[in-house]
Amino acid sequence: MASIINSGYYIAGFVLLLGVLVFIHEFGHFIIAKAFKVRVETFSIGMGKKLFTFKRGETEYAISLFPLGGYVKLTGQDPREEVPPELEARSFRNKPLYARAAVVLAGPLFNAALAILVFTYLYVVGIPSVIPVMERVLSGSPAEQAGFQRGDEVLRVKDSSSSNWTRVFELSDLERIVGDAVGRELDFEVKSAGSTETKTIKYTPTLGSERDSTIGVMKQRGVIKGVEKTAIGPVVVVLPDSFASSRLLPTPFWISQIAYLSNGQEKIIKTENFHDVESAWNEAVTQQGDKGEIKITGTVIEMETEESQKKETAETKKIPEEQTYTLAWLNEQERPASKLKAAGFLSSELVLTGIMTGSPAERFGLKKGDILSSFDNEEIQSFASFRENLQVSASTGRDLKLGWYRDGVYQETSMKPEIVMAVDPMTEAKNKQFQIGAYFLALPAQPSVRIVKADGLFQALGLGYDRSYRLTVSMLESFYHLAKGNISPKTLGGPILILRISGESLKQGSAAFLKMMAFISLNLFLLNLFPIPVLDGGHLVMYMIEAVRRRPLPIKFIEMWSTAGFVLLMMLMSFVMFNDIRRIIFKS
């Protein structure tokens, strides 16, 4: 039954998505053609055999078999077409060059306009957005020294020398502002977690490496050193010979909630990330006396390698059932420490889940289950900071010290990381980087999301335009990174991928589906403007050549141009279909 419902979502999402996008695109061509008094013979949603038709005036309207596209048939659009003399004045080829260009350009522009209107609507009713919050601030980092704290939400930013504040609505806004401000002092107006008061922090972004949250590539840009925008998941590793291990809590364990008795009633605290686990544990211990108990609910995590995790998808992953474990004490001597680490819990992010054969990690004695502690004589505070420091320190060529715990015993060795060709899990591109040859259980928490709502229609329109513009720029960047090899062509998808993401977004609700529709609409806007024969951009190129020549192009050239475009388009479609099939085979 569930599979039937899921199939319904996929089919409904796919048909609704393509139906709207194709209709808007072709309607753009149609309405501008009508405005220039071009005779429109057919308006079709879909390609191939016509399934349903009706005629109004001189135009036949149709729904055709294949939903991947549509067309508007204009009289005289084919230069070889014989047009009756009485219709020649209304033929497409008889219209001025600017009119023909406007008709062709209208389709992509209507797709761009749709995206702006969809985002405007979402900002009017409220759009789920990732909050610009400091999910983690490393101890002793420049960010902490400047005054940033975990949980600080950035409200506004401005140049210290200016009086003009820029409101920060979501995390991508903060990334863009900070990324463009290397070496410039900024004022950050922030609100601390759980507080209504604001404070202003001055900080000068430094050049650093950070992953672009929109296109997924690593970039050199301005960063707030010591701030991590993604919290680590609520996964704990139980240390041996500790309070937690003596109560038989399995390890590693994903904690979804912690409960304890408060004034005779059970208090349940949901845990979204590791910090939530720390604060919930502290509260549960301090609010109980020399006799008490804490109920921990969650799931056991299988110690998978990075490779096996990449092969799993949301559809194939088997979600284990949640279990509840009671950790009780009967007297003061048994009472656990209120600090999570002292009670025998550690974050899982620095736990080794596997060792690569022949790697530096294997040669220097590291084993599965070891917990990294220090690197280059400094405490490792997070997996992200360890990975970044590894690249910087290893590039010097000197030996580096690595410290770890095994069965509660601290060990240390000197080692030299190796340069390997690694596959980026986000972009699937290969690049050289230093590695010690180990897998980690660094599971990120879900980002903090809230509903962002504009103050009025005009602000919503401005935000809708800005969101569409920035997404378009990011898409152009992604094409650039594709050309450079920073993003693998394997990430490109076709109809099957569209089917999947349209169904998944529809299951999440109307807001997610509309965001996805706007995103795909902007993709169509850009792709149709590419100077590829057959596409709208290819026609515009021909019109530019015609404008330079000051006379129509030879029919033979137009035929060759169109044939080349068709072949190129079919090759591209075959490639993305191959990628779709590859995803199904290797992630099943």
Q: E-strand spans in 195-344?
A: 198-203, 206-211, 218-223, 227-228, 235-238, 253-262, 265-270, 292-300, 323-329
Using alpha carbons, select from 477, 444, 539 the residue that is nearest to residue 107: 539
- Paired strand residues for 56: 59
Q: How far lies 303's CA from each of 315, 354, 380, 588, in Å?
A: 20, 8, 21, 20
Whether residue 412 contacts residue 406, with contact meaning beta carbons closer than 8 Å, is answered with no
Using alpha carbons, select from 236, 240, 238, 244 the residue that is nearest to residue 334: 244
**In whole angstroms, what separates CA 225 from the centre of its chain?**
22
What is d(CA 178, CA 86) in angstroms, rounded to the nearest whole number? 63
Q: Is 26 a catalytic residue?
A: yes
Which ranges of 205-261 would DSSP assign to H, the alpha helix? Answer: 243-246
Burial (CB count within 10 angstroms: exposed 0-12, middle 13-18, buried 19+), residue 191: middle
**In whole angstroms, what separates CA 154 from the centre of its chain?**
21
**Which residue in 26, 135, 153, 504 is the catalytic one?**
26
What is d(CA 578, CA 460) in angstroms, rounded to the nearest whole number? 40
Using alpha carbons, select from 127, 327, 152, 305 the residue that is nearest to residue 226: 152
In this structure, the chain runs to a length of 588
Amino acid found at 380:
I
Using alpha carbons, select from 386, 321, 377, 313 the residue that is nearest to residue 347: 386
Q: What tokens were used for 7?
A: 């199939």
What is d(CA 35, CA 484) in angstroms, rounded to the nearest whole number? 42
Q: What are the residues whose beta carbons fall under 8 Å from the beta carbon of 76, sequence distance 6 or more?
A: 39, 83, 87, 88, 91, 92, 93, 94
Query: Phi and psi at residue 225, in whole multiples of 5°?
Result: -65, 120
Q: How far lies 199's CA from each of 147, 174, 193, 203, 223, in Å?
A: 10, 17, 12, 13, 20
Q: What are the residues whose beta carbons fall under 8 Å from the beta carbon of 585, sequence distance 6 or more?
A: none
What is d(CA 26, CA 61) in angstroms, rounded to the nearest whole number? 12
Tell me the Ramachandran region of residue 226: left when phi exceeds 0, alpha when psi lies from -120 to 50, beta otherwise.
left
What is d(CA 514, CA 456) in angstroms, rounded to the nearest whole number? 20
Strand, helix or coil for residue 68: strand
What secondary structure does DSSP assign to 108-157, as a single string?
Answer: HHHHHHHHHHHHHHHHHH-EEEE--B--EE-TTSHHHHHT--TT-EEEEE
**In whole angstroms, what separates CA 174 from the centre of its chain?**
16
Whether residue 130 contacts residue 172, with contact meaning beta carbons closer than 8 Å, is answered with yes
Residues designated as active site: 26
